[in-house]
């Protein structure tokens, strides 16, 4: 009695493609394939690639902290004074290069000296709440004023919380 075996789908595919299918990729190379690989008759790209364009990374903006300032109570105002003489780079910077963002409980003041340098005074939390809509910046003589309008009257013994 003779036993017949059925071929599975993979074996049928191998027979159909006569050992050229991807199922046989692990088999040893034929003599012709070895000869082609050894003679390096493969298509090449013509050498190493050439650089046709290079991106130049622009220098990052340097942010310097404003650490020298004075503050004083003036009724409903808390005034912060920055002496321009303490920072020679900002001595001739016009007020239009200055920006202030006021929140209820803090503020951020920046001076754009140029594309590469910026000075900043950041107080994320003031001693008491302020009214952002009434707060402002202005300049007098050699001083830059940041005027914070207090939500309620009283003396602040410190600027930061």
- The predicted-structure confidence for 22-76, as pLDDT tens digits, reads as follows 555 666 666 776 776 666 555 555 667 777 888 888 888 899 999 999 999 999 9
- Classify strands 98-103 and 117-123 as parallel, antiparallel or unpaired: unpaired
- Asked if residue 49 belongs to a domain, the reply is no
CA 152 to each of CA 18, 54, 77, 88, 146: distance values in angstroms, whole numbers, following the listed order: 92, 58, 10, 36, 18
Q: Are residues 25 and 102 in the same domain?
A: no
pTM, entire model: 0.62
Domain that holds residue 145: 62-149
Q: Are residues 22 and 73 in the same domain?
A: no
DSSP letter assigned to residue 160 = B
Integer Cα distance of 80 and 146 in angstroms:
5
Q: Are residues 68 and 27 in the same domain?
A: no
- Asked if residue 16 belongs to a domain, the reply is yes
- Asked if residue 25 belongs to a domain, the reply is yes
- Asked if residue 72 belongs to a domain, the reply is yes
| Chain mean pLDDT for the chain | 83
Contacts of 105 (CB under 8 A, 6+ apart): 125, 126, 129, 130, 161
Integer Cα distance of 124 and 122 in angstroms:
6
Q: Are residues 24 and 100 in the same domain?
A: no
Q: Give the count of domains, the chain.
A: 2
């Amino acid at each position: 009695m003779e036993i017949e075996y059925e071929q599975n789908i993979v074996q049928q595919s191998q027979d159909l493609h006569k050992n050229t299918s991807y199922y046989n990729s692990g088999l040893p190379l034929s003599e012709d394939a070895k000869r082609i690989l050894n003679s390096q008759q493969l298509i090449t790209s013509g050498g190493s690639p050439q650089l046709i364009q290079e991106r130049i990374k622009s220098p990052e903006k340097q942010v310097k902290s404003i650490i020298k300032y004075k503050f004083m109570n003036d009724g409903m105002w808390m005034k912060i004074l920055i002496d321009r003489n303490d920072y020679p780079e900002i001595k001739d910077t016009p007020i239009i290069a200055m920006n202030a963002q006021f929140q209820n409980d803090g503020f951020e003041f920046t001076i754009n000296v140029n594309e590469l340098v910026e000075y900043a005074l950041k107080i994320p939390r003031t001693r008491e709440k302020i009214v952002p809509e009434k707060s402002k910046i202005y300049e007098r003589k050699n001083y830059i004023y940041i005027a914070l309008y207090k939500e309620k009257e009283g003396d602040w013994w410190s600027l930061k919380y």
